[in-house]
Structure formats: C-alpha cells, structure tokens
Structure 1
C-alpha cells in the first residue's frame, strides 16, 4: 500500500524536526499509540491500538528513525505485529521551509501488510491511513500551538 501526503505548519522546520525526534511528543500525537519506549539510539518499542474499518487490533513492534538529515528529512522504519496481521513500512519524511515561519511536511512510503489486514482491502485501508494521517497532523498542530502559548 502506498502512503503519501503533506501538510503545511506554521512553525520552522527545526522546531518540527525536534518535536518529531522526541519520543514523548511522538507518542502523544500519533493516533492509537499507547506506548513508545526507547530501546536504543533512534530505536523504539511501540504499542498501538488501531481500528481499521471493520478490523481492529493491538499492534506491538519496533520503530526506527533512520537516515536523519536534520532538519530536512528522515526515514521511519516500522515493523508492527498483531493477531490480525503484520505491517512493515518505510516512510520518508521531508520538511521543507516555505518561509522562515512555515514548513511543509511531506511523507511518501510503502506499507506491506499480511494476514487479515492484507485481505481487508486496499480502499478501506487507504481511507484509514488517510484518517490517521489527518489525526496526526491535527495533533502536531495542537502541540505546536501549546508550545507557542507557553511562557518563555
């Protein structure tokens, strides 16, 4: 399954990059993630509960941040397993400053699904992926807004 999208943020790229490298922030803004625990340099154990159309499940596995080029880009390598199937994905994240105070975050990658997930159907899962990415972007916007309102 191909994953692709973008979103404009009212924040500089270095600020967004820093937030995305923080495990606590990432756990708060990623839909369904209940636990994100560092296991090494740029590697994490992740537990997520996700509902995908008619299918829902608890996933556990690994997340790795690779090919970091601060603050322009990085690659997320995801391996999640559950009773309803497995997900393996590599997603490139690009941060492009469109001005000194705005940044376009773009993502592009592929997810490989197995088990019941693979049989659920591309259209259903593409819709779920789209919904999850919108929730992620909204949560990141709220996190940026909260940060802007904190006293210096």
Structure 2
C-alpha cells in the first residue's frame, strides 16, 4: 500500500501567499490588472536557486502544465502551457524574457501569452535572500488578464494563481532536492 506521508519537498516549502492589491475591472471583457505577491522557502542555497530559475530544463519541469519551453535567444523563450485550473483553464502559447539579472540576488521576468480563454501579460520582480541553509524567493508581479479570463472575476483568477504558484514552488523544491 502506498504511503500517504508527505514528500520531503512538501515539508520544505514553508510559505506561499498571494495578495490582491487593485483591479481595473472585475467584469466583462475589460482587462483586469492584479498585483500578486508570492513568497516561498526553497531548500537550497541562493546560487543554486538562481541557476534553477534561469535553467529552461528545470523550469519546464517545474512550471505547472508546461508542454514546451524553447529558447529563442539569450534569456528569451517561447512556451506552451496547458493549464487545468478553473478560471484559467486552457492551452496558452506565449513568450517570456529574463531581464535585469543580478546573480544570485534578483531578476525580472516579463511574460505574455494567449489562448482560447483570453490573454495574460505582465512582469515579475523576483528576489532571493538567504534563510538559514535555504533561500527565500519573493516575487511581486503586475499581471493583466483579458478576454474570458477577466470575465470570471479577480477572486477566481487569484485562486488559480495561488494554486499555480504553490505547485511551481513545490515542484522546484522537488527538482532541487532530487539532484
């Protein structure tokens, strides 16, 4: 019989939270702007976590629903994601770029994608700080969603973003503890 005990990575991700700050619109097809903050402790040193956050192979395995992540140039990528979370459900194609890299302290991620349910675009400032033998990763993102995604309302978008962030950090922790 399989064990129902949590994996080591479940114990190591100590905190992930997202907070809604403001909205342009919560109804209709008018784009919605949401500020999302996320924080998580990853069980590895800062240099290793920074390297993982800029490694397409690790990112493809850690990003929920990532079907492909292809480098199109230095620190630029095209991606296909199949998201199965309510409010964002669908297949998206898009682009991402890593800017302002300051290893192992910070980077900025810009992204845009579209699919049947609508579009998502924005940027995230990501910082890394030592926390004992681990690393605290903090992200502040300004995200704009439009189309049917905006029509479902900001609370559902936030719940979906929370699940995706939790899943990403859990999988990133698993990737880093497995190597």
Q: Report how many aligned residue pairs link the two structures.
A: 146
TM superposition shift of 1:8 = 1.1
Cα contact 2:110–2:124 (8 A) shared by 1 = yes
Name 2:175's counterpart in structure 1.
143
Cα contact 2:43–2:134 (8 A) shared by 1 = yes
TM superposition shift of 1:50 = 0.8
- How many Å separate the matches in 2 of 1:84 and 1:141? 30
**TM-score of the two chains, using structure 1 as the length reference:** 0.92
TM superposition shift of 1:54 = 5.0
Please tell me whether residue 30 in structure 1 is matched to residue 63 in structure 2: yes
Rg comparison, structure with higher value: 2
- How many Å separate the matches in 2 of 1:121 and 1:52? 14
**TM-score of the two chains, using structure 2 as the length reference:** 0.79
- Residue ranges of structure 2 left out of the alignment (5+ in a row): 1-33
Specify whether residues 28 and 10 from structure 1 end up closer, same or farther in structure 2 by C-alpha distance, changes over 3 A only.
Answer: same
Q: Deviations over 1:19-71 (max 9, x none)?
A: 11110110000001110000001000010011331552110010100111111
What secondary structure sits across from 1:52 in the alignment?
A: coil
Specify whether residues 133 and 54 from structure 1 end up closer, same or farther in structure 2 by C-alpha distance, changes over 3 A only.
Answer: closer
Cα contact 1:52–1:124 (8 A) shared by 2 = no
What secondary structure sits across from 1:53 in the alignment?
A: coil
Bigger mean CA deviation after superposition, 2-11 or 62-71: 2-11
- Residue ranges of structure 1 left out of the alignment (5+ in a row): 148-152
Greater RCO (CA < 8 Å, at least 6 residues apart): 2
Q: Which stretches of structure 1, 4 residues or longer, exceed 6 Å deviation after superposition?
A: none
